[in-house]
């Protein structure tokens, strides 16, 4: 299996539901921007709405970092709209909800479960060049945390903007970083 970190996201064009409208989203839309692709199993389920609402409640913080969020499931754009119409919580979502109904994007990123044709909980942070910088895949019973994802995005952006610097464990924006060198070996 080829490593996915630092690989490019595939070319794609998929329908989506965004804030009351149907739109198309493609790989061209993410060029020159930081993006998060947030895969989840299905609309009208249990853990999924808790995660999507958490992302919606933190969406402005991601936007302040210049990051667009894209939630993705194998549901249709029509199902995404029906879910938003039926749920006050899901109606809060302002980011695109991509309909990967053929499973092409899910499969290309290794999150498609062929047994039930649902995506695992996969999170992919993609830099402005289209390179995947962070990959996290969970079993479907394990929810994610938008605040932790924000911290990781800030670290990825810091490293991208500061060659020669790395972020240690639990690093938060504004804290000291490391300059890897032989002097640090065995001293941390």
Question: Active-site positions?
Answer: 48
Side-chain-side CA neighbours of residue 133 (13 Å): 20
């Amino acid at each position: 299996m080829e490593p996915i970190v630092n690989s490019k996201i595939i070319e794609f064009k998929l329908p989506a539901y965004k804030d009351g409208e149907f739109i198309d989203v493609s790989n061209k839309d993410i060029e020159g921007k930081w993006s998060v692709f947030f895969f989840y199993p299905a609309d009208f389920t249990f853990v999924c709405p808790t995660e999507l609402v958490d992302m919606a409640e933190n969406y402005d913080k991601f936007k302040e970092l210049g990051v667009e969020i894209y939630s993705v499931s194998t549901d249709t754009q029509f199902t995404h709209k029906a879910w938003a119409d039926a749920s006050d919580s899901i109606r809060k979502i302002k980011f695109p909800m991509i309909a990967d109904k053929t499973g092409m994007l899910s499969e290309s990123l290794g999150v498609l479960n062929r047994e039930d044709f649902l995506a695992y909980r996969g999170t992919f942070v993609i830099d402005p060049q289209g390179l995947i910088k962070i990959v996290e895949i969970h079993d479907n019973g394990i929810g994610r945390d938008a605040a932790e994802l924000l911290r990781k995005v800030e670290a990825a952006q810091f490293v991208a903007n500061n060659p020669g610097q790395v972020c240690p464990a639990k690093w938060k924006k504004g804290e000291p970083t490391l300059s890897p060198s032989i002097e640090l070996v065995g001293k941390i």
